[in-house]
Amino acid sequence: MLLTRYFKETEQLSTEDALKKAFSMLEGSNAIVMSDAEHKDKLHCVKSAGPLHVGILKDHQGYIVASEVAVFQNYTNEYIDVKENELLTLDISKDPVIHKDVFKAQSEKIQSEPKPGFSTFLEQEIFEQPEAIARAFNYGS
């Protein structure tokens, strides 16, 4: 992110502080996962809204960052939910981050093919949009 680089160079801020400052200037719903060129073992995660999860791989072999827990359920069921406006810095050269809020994901069935009658997921989603919008406006009821 160019603003982060700018703040690091002009204000001599750390990567974490520069990212916090740049992120605070953004409007709307945002999520950023950023690597650090100076510290190649670090990964920074921050969000303003919406889901952002960090899966902790089995045997502590690394992390998977995603907006849905189902993305990493084949690899781990342990994850951290990045809180709103929280900067989470992961150091992949060390043991997994010790975080007070490590959750256990429930296993869920992932649909590997579109429902019968649809040739692609895109087609299925297009036809399901009216129902999904109605559920959203009625809060699922």
Residue 129 and residue 99 share a domain: no
Tens-place pLDDT, residues 102-118: 667 666 666 778 889 99
DSSP state string for 11-27: H---HHHHHHHHHHT--
| pLDDT for 56 beyond 90 | no
Q: Is pLDDT larger for residue 58 or for residue 100?
A: 58
Please say whether the beta carbons of 77 and 104 come within 8 A: yes
Residue 29 and residue 81 share a domain: yes
Q: What pLDDT does 94 receive? A: 73
pTM equals 0.67
Q: Print the domain residue range for 101.
A: 2-108
Residue 80 and residue 28 share a domain: yes
Residue 70 and residue 56 share a domain: yes
| pLDDT for 11 beyond 90 | yes
Q: Is pLDDT larger for residue 102 or for residue 13?
A: 13
Residue 68 and residue 53 share a domain: yes
Please tell me the total count of domains within the chain.
Answer: 2
Q: What pLDDT does 118 receive? A: 92
Residue 122 and residue 75 share a domain: no
| pLDDT for 131 beyond 70 | yes
Q: Is pLDDT larger for residue 65 or for residue 107?
A: 65
Residue 136 and residue 102 share a domain: no
Residue 31 and residue 77 share a domain: yes
Q: What pLDDT does 108 receive? A: 62
User: What is each CA distance from 99 to 36, 45, 77, 80, 81, in whole angstroms?
Assistant: 21, 14, 15, 8, 10
Residue 102 and residue 58 share a domain: yes
78-81 and 63-66 as β-strands: parallel, antiparallel, unpaired? Answer: unpaired
Residue 72 and residue 115 share a domain: no
Tens-place pLDDT, residues 66-91: 998 888 888 888 888 899 998 988 88
